[in-house]
């Protein structure tokens, strides 16, 4: 055999330089990691003994809250005062309005009372004047005498005298259809008012008044009898016999209330109420 023949070697083949460097780098990296871990381990195990103090913010906040509360309280007080003032103003306005209305009412009442008193005084004066005129006419009739045998009005007494006096005091008043006084009358309105003055309530119309009492003859008349024209129950006119052959009646719009003799307008019949 040749000395140069190839004999297999038992040594491991030589690694390349690049692989060797790679392995060295990996090993070095592992060692570095271990070293770092070892160094970090004890440091993490040490307890924290230092306290960190946070900044304090409550002092400024308390002052702000206090100031806000004070402002709110002041606003509430102002609103309350304003509410009281508004309520007082409203009450004062209502009181003033009520006082004004009461003053107006009293003034109107006073004015009405004065007007009523004036009207009453005027009516009394007119009544007195009419009564005076009637008295003068009665005196004149008495002085001249009368040919009639019928009693005169001076013989009337009691309620009859009052009825006659009332009727005579209206002589000179106007005649108005439907009139019931005090200054204008129709025939039945005057008769009703004259008897009403002594508390006797007669019907309103002449037809009913002509049957309101006892029928009497025209030859047997007494002062205070009611005279009627037309039929009993259908009379169209009434008057009051005052004695002395005369009567008082609201005749018509031309003459008004007059006192005349029976001859002036002879009646149809008469009734006696008193």
Q: What is the 3-state secondary structure (H, E, C) of 48-107?
A: CCCCCCCCCCHHHHHHHHHHHHHHHHHHHHHHHHHHHHHHHHHHHHHHHHHHHHHHHHHH
pLDDT of residue 148: 37
Q: Which SS3 state, helix, strand or coil, does residue 271 take?
A: strand
CA–CA gap between residue 202 and residue 189 (Å, rounded): 10
- Arithmetic mean of pLDDT over the chain: 78
- Taking phi over 0 as left and psi of -120 to 50 as alpha, with beta for the rest, 30 belongs to alpha
Buried b (16+ CB within 10 A) or exposed e, 242-273: bbbbbbbbbbeeeebbbbbebeeeebbbbbbb
pLDDT of residue 256: 97
Q: With contact defined as beta carbons under 8 Å apart, do 223 and 242 qualify?
A: yes
Q: What percent of the chain has pLDDT over 90?
A: 43
Q: Residue 125 above 60 pLDDT?
A: yes
CA–CA gap between residue 54 and residue 100 (Å, rounded): 74
- The one-character DSSP state at 146 is -
Alpha-carbon Rg for the chain, nearest whole angstrom, is 67
| Furthest-apart CA atoms within the chain: distance in Å | 224
pTM confidence score = 0.47
**Both ends of the chain: CA-CA distance in Å?**
204
Residue 120 CA, chain-centre distance (Å), reads 31
Q: What is the pLDDT of residues 5-44, one digit of tens each?
A: 555 555 555 555 545 544 545 455 554 544 444 455 454 5
Q: Domain extents for the chain? A: 77-145, 149-272
CATH number of this structure's domain 149-272: 3.90.1720.10
CA–CA gap between residue 194 and residue 240 (Å, rounded): 9
- The one-character DSSP state at 244 is T
Q: Residue 90 above 80 pLDDT?
A: yes
Q: What is the pLDDT of residues 97-110, one digit of tens each?
A: 888 888 888 888 88
Q: Residue 253 above 70 pLDDT?
A: yes
Q: Residue 51 above 90 pLDDT?
A: no
Phi and psi angles of residue 94, each rounded to the nearest 5 degrees, phi first: -65, -40
Q: What is the pLDDT of residues 176-193, one digit of tens each?
A: 999 999 999 999 999 999
Q: Residue 153 above 80 pLDDT?
A: no
Who contacts 197 (Cβ-Cβ below 8 Å, separation ≥6)? Answer: 162, 163, 166
């Amino acid at each position: 055999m040749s000395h140069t023949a190839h004999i297999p070697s038992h040594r491991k083949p030589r690694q390349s330089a690049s692989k060797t460097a790679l392995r060295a780098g990996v090993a070095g990296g592992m060692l570095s990691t271990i070293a770092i871990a070892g160094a970090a381990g004890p440091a993490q195990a040490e307890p924290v003994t230092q306290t960190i103090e946070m900044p304090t913010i409550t002092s400024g906040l308390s002052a702000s809250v206090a100031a806000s509360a004070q402002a709110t309280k002041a606003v509430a007080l102002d609103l309350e005062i304003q509410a009281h003032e508004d309520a007082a103003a409203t009450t004062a306005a209502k009181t003033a309005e009520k006082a004004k209305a009461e003053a107006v009412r009293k003034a109107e009442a006073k004015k009405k009372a004065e007007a009523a008193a004036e009207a009453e005084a005027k009516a009394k004066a007119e009544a007195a004047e009419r009564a005076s005129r009637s008295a003068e006419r009665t005196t004149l009739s008495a002085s001249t005498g009368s040919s009639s045998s019928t009693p005169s009005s001076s013989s009337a007494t009691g309620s009859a005298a009052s009825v006659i006096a009332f009727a005579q005091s209206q002589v000179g008043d106007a005649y108005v259809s439907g009139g019931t006084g005090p200054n204008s009358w129709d025939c039945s309105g005057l008769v009703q008012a004259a008897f009403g003055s002594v508390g006797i309530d007669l019907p309103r119309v002449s037809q009913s008044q002509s049957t309101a009492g006892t029928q009497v003859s025209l030859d047997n008349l007494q002062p205070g009898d009611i005279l009627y024209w037309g039929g009993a129950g259908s009379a169209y006119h009434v008057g009051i016999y005052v004695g002395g052959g005369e009567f008082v009646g609201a005749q018509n719009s031309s003459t008004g209330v007059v006192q005349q003799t029976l001859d002036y307008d002879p009646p149809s019949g008469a009734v006696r109420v008193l």
